[in-house]
Amino acid sequence: MTALEPFTMEFNGALFGGPSPIYLEEVDGLHDAPDMRVSDVGLMQRDGMIPGDDYYGARTITVTANVLDDGRTLDSLLRALKPGLQKPLRFSFPGVAGGQTVRVYGKVRKRSIKADNLYHKGLAKLMVEFYCADPFIYSDEQVTGLVTPPRDRPGVRAFPLRFPFNLRTKDASYSDRMALINEGTADTWPVFRMVGPMGNPILHNTLTQQRLILNLYLGVGEVLELDSRRRTVLYNGASRYGALDYTSQWFPLSPGANRVELSGSGVQKDMTADALWRSAWI
């Protein structure tokens, strides 16, 4: 995927703005907060509500554009904007996610073209509404990071004692793993992939102290994939959700730097797991 020019967008091969004959006029819904799903409960025989947890709902993006039709542009555009077709909607707008190329996952819900005098002369007025069940805006680039086991801290020579000296308490282990960095403003849900041999792997988010604990053994070359957004556990492509320990907690990557450790029985220090994610904005 190539980066887009500022104030352009692309959906299913159709380019809006830039050198395209489709001129963007207005885009609504990118800076807006998505709908909210609330769980407040009314107080019995009293004024007010008991506040509950709020969750984001869907996002709606409305695009208005002018289409210069040469007899082929409009036909190809209508094929790209087939209602009900979910595809990445990629865009680059100043002020949205730092102006970089980002994406949402949406489908065309509404589409209208006015058949007026300008339409007869080759200028079509287009309005299209994209429905995004996932309200988050994601980086167009998927990042891959490395998750490693914690490593023993190297020994320090203590004797002979030299003065002055002080006693410092530090963790007994450290990891040379790289930080998993979410550049956005919202939590994002990673995918973890591990290749055996590995026994009972555990992924530990040291920031939140949440863990994903698997009760199974990976043989040589066997692959385990955990999708934290879809809540799936795939063992060599087949579902093995039952291998997930009941004490496990799915965890996202928070905005900023995240630290995740890999451990388990029989895990060698050179064993690793891959983490795949996209930075997210809301």
Residue 151: band (very low, low, confident or very high) from pLDDT cuts 50, 70, 90: low
Domains along the chain?
A: 8-139 (2.40.30.200), 143-153+173-281 (2.60.120.860)
Residue 176 pLDDT > 70: no
pLDDT score for 160: 54
Chain Cα centroid distance, residue 173: 30
pLDDT digits (tens, 9 = 90+) for 88-106: 999 999 888 888 999 999 9
SS3 of 120, please?
A: helix
Among 106, 183, 86, which Cα is nearest to 142's? 183
pLDDT, residue 266, reads: 63
Work out the average pLDDT over 126-150.
90
Residue 156 CB partners (closer than 8 Å, separation 6+): none
- Report the pLDDT value the prediction gives residue 88, as an integer from 0 to 100: 94
* Rounded mean pLDDT, 35-64: 90
**69 DSSP β-pair partners:** none
Q: How far apart are CA 89 and CA 62, in angstroms?
A: 12
Stretch 105-130: mean pLDDT: 85
Per mean pLDDT, which range of 30-34, 85-89, 154-158, 224-228 is the poorest? 154-158
In sign, the C-alpha dihedral spanning 115, 117, 120, 125 is negative
